[in-house]
Amino acid sequence: MKIGALKEAFAGENRVAMTPDSALLLSKLGHECLIETGAGQAAGFTDEAYAKAGVTVLPSAKALADASDVVVKVRGPEPAELDLLHEGETLISFFWPAQNPELLEQAKARGVTAVAMDMVPRISRAQKMDALSSMANLAGYRAVIEAANNFPRFFTGQVTAAGKVPPAKVLVVGAGVAGLAAIGASVSLGAITYAFDVRPEVAEQISSMGAEFVYLDFAETQTDGAATGGYAAPSSPEFREAQLKKFRELAPEIDIVITTALIPGRPAPKLWTEDMVQLMKRGSVIIDLAAERGGNCDLTVPDEKIVTANGVTVVGYTDFPSRMATQASTLYANNIRHMLADLTPGKDGIINHNMEDDVIRGATVTKAGEITFPPPPPKIA
Ligand code: NAD
């Protein structure tokens, strides 16, 4: 089959879904690779590098879509991109089907099969294609780097001839994939790191990484993630109050807050309120990784960095993986290549879109003129 990578149409998106290395591995599955000219440029991959890896470089998105059997990209498709695809063509990209019913209808009407990387089930067998995790891992790391860049002091404590420097205190709110990556980066820079999550089962992971789990003085135990596929459920009002009270106590002490708290299918919970920002010291930094879903901090402006009247920097960037475009593209292209490997079981260049396979079924949101979202729950774990 011909696998073609589109240049991302979204302004400022630097990632690409195919790298010269992933193309070489795709060719070992019997596929032929194509790419739109300039698609890898912002991620550091030139047209020449692709050509050297045997990839055919095509002059436009239309030429690419016309010539491909499978189109791969990073961001969810724009309507104009879906319009380029022909009947029977497969698209593999992020898609966010629950938030984009009109795109589902459009893909259905065009007879396009859409495989949503954000719908890959979070089961062990599918970890190699779990692009949500590979991108969240980058975002968590980058959040700490961005915090350090905006923080006018050391992370690590020091005793020098010129004086004693206290270590920075970092609080990570939400210890999923991004939060754990942030904890790892923060601890490795030498900050005293605290973390909180509504899922009590992450306390052990937090402490094994050298951070301190923030316990609440609260009798009710939260439902653990097992009931909700590993994800958080909304908190009771009483639990939320106890959480906010604890954060208010911590706010004057904490130099850097990294928030990553999300609940599937809902806006991000507001956990770092305006009065907490006001309690923080001048020079403190808040990095809100939930900005795209409305933000965990009251003051977050998506895609912007603001400085409050009391001198606290609040960063609401939504493009952290794109800020590490070479690495992000390499990891994402690997996720895509693994998805294509599962779709090509004979390694013979023939796609077998097996809807009996839990992972392929879970990720397929339209197929042959039908909407196949939402999928049935996976049978295996
Ligand atoms: P996510 O991005 O949906 O949420 C981030 C974190 O925010 C979660 O840990 C959640 O518990 C937390 N959160 C929600 N509300 C909060 C609140 N009020 N206060 C504090 N924290 C709050 O999560 P994710 O990173 O996508 O991970 C979700 C789960 O899936 C995790 O258990 C993760 O370990 C699991 N996972 C499993 C696999 C696998 O293959 N088995 C792969 C990736 C992730």
What are 207-257's pLDDT values in tens digits?
Answer: 999 999 999 877 655 554 445 566 777 888 999 999 999 999 999 999 999
Residue 194 Cα, ligand 1 centroid: separation in angstroms?
Answer: 17
Q: What is the pLDDT of residue 235?
A: 83
Q: What is the pLDDT of residue 261?
A: 97
Q: What is the pLDDT of residue 227?
A: 53
Tokens encoding 372:
């196949």
Tens of pLDDT, residue by residue over 343-376, are 999 999 999 999 999 999 999 999 989 999 999 9
Q: What is the pLDDT of residue 231?
A: 74
Tens of pLDDT, residue by residue over 55-91, are 999 999 999 999 999 999 999 999 999 999 999 999 9
CA distance 115 to 126: 14
Count CB neighbours of 292 within 10 A.
Answer: 15
Q: Is 148 helix (H, G, I), strand (E, B) or coil?
A: helix
| H or E stretch covering 23 | helix 20-28
Q: Is the pLDDT of residue 94 over 90?
A: yes
Q: Write down the ipTM of this complex.
A: 0.95
Tell me what the mean pLDDT of segment 118-126 comes to. Answer: 95
Q: What is the pLDDT of residue 226?
A: 47
Q: What is the pLDDT of residue 218?
A: 75
Tokens encoding 333:
């292209």
CA-196 nearest atom, ligand 1: 20
Q: What is the pLDDT of residue 378?
A: 61
Which residues are marked as active site?
A: 122, 127, 130, 133, 231
CA neighbor of 101 nearest in space, from 355, 371, 376: 371
Using CA positions, which residue lies closest to atom 42 of ligand 1? 122
Q: What is the pLDDT of residue 234?
A: 80
* 8 A C-beta contact, residue 17 and residue 5: yes
Residue 353 Cα, ligand 1 centroid: separation in angstroms?
Answer: 29
Best probe residue, ligand 1, of 194, 231, 245 (max atoms within 8 Å of C-beta): 231
Using CA positions, which residue lies closest to atom 27 of ligand 1? 176
Alpha-carbon separation of residue 162 from 78, 149, 158 (angstroms) = 56, 23, 10
Using CA positions, which residue lies closest to atom 30 of ligand 1? 230
Q: What is the reported pTM?
A: 0.95
Q: What is the pLDDT of residue 380?
A: 54
Pocket of ligand 1 (CB under 6 A): 122-124, 127, 130, 132-133, 136, 173-179, 196-199, 225, 230-232, 235, 260-264, 269, 271
Residue 175 Cα, ligand 1 centroid: separation in angstroms?
Answer: 6
Alpha-carbon separation of residue 147 from 131, 271, 287, 345 (angstroms) = 24, 19, 7, 44
Q: What is the pLDDT of residue 216?
A: 87
Q: Please, what is the average pLDDT of the chain? A: 95
* 8 A C-beta contact, residue 235 and residue 198: yes
Tens of pLDDT, residue by residue over 315-345, are 999 999 999 999 999 999 999 999 999 999 9
* 8 A C-beta contact, residue 189 and residue 255: no
CA distance 247 to 215: 11
CA distance 254 to 280: 7
Q: Is 131 helix (H, G, I), strand (E, B) or coil?
A: helix
SS (H, E, C) 212-235: EECCCCCCCCCCCHHHHCCCCCCC
